[in-house]
Amino acid sequence: MKKFLTIAAFAVCSAVGATHAAGDVEAGKAKAAMCMACHGQDGNSAAPNFPKLAGQGADYIAKQLSDFKSGARTDATMNGMAAALTDEDMANLGAFYASQTVKVGTAAEDKVEAGQALYRAGNPASGVSACTACHGPTGAGNPLAKFPSLGGQHADYVAAQLKNFRSGARANDAGSMMRAIAKKMTDTEIDAVSQYVQGLH
């Protein structure tokens, strides 16, 4: 636990030190026309493999776009989409999506109990930390620290990202915090917690 708190504190300090300038919602809305095919008109994507951006922290979105542009985070589609974006574009897109309201999904009933237990308390036996420590009891995240909102996010997307962190395919987490957690998670745990957050609000 002490090691996790040290990593978390480092991640918070690193993230706060790189806060982006506030964006313009209307400019972001105009720029978001290029994003709508995958992420929906208001940031609530219909396809479960594309993340919902509605209600997400503005600085978190800007950071992810910056990481896609630099190659710190890889995705064939997003690396290309972010290539021409300026820092101002990223801040504006973040502001727009943060102003939208996420549409919460429904969790699979047979996964809720296990998912809730893992989200709230982690797995002390294997060293998996509680998700609520960084993402909050309702999955709202921590915008200042750039810990993303998870409440209502597609289960398929959450599971895919946890597996990417576990394998190292995704490595843009501050202080390797998510990689350290995800590598201790089983497929069953990933499935359960992903389903739980899909219905969390």
Q: What is the pLDDT of residues 1-16, one digit of tens each?
A: 444 444 444 444 444 4
pTM of the entire predicted model: 0.90
Query: pLDDT digits over 155-201, tens only?
Result: 999 999 999 999 999 999 999 999 999 999 999 999 999 999 999 99
Name the residue ranges covered by the structural domains of the chain.
109-198
Indicate if the alpha-carbon torsion angle 48, 54, 59, 63 is positive or negative. Answer: positive
Confidence at residue 21, expressed as pLDDT on a 0 to 100 scale = 72
Fold for domain 109-198? Cytochrome Bc1 Complex; Chain D, domain 2 (1.10.760)
Indicate if the alpha-carbon torsion angle 8, 13, 16, 17 is positive or negative. Answer: negative
Query: pLDDT digits over 97-106, tens only?
Result: 999 999 999 9
CA pair distance 99, 89, nearest whole angstrom: 15
Percent of the chain whose predicted confidence (pLDDT) is above 70: 90
Confidence at residue 16, expressed as pLDDT on a 0 to 100 scale = 46
Segment 18-42 shows an average pLDDT of 92
Confidence at residue 161, expressed as pLDDT on a 0 to 100 scale = 99
Non-local (6+) Cβ contacts of 85 within 8 A are 65, 69, 93
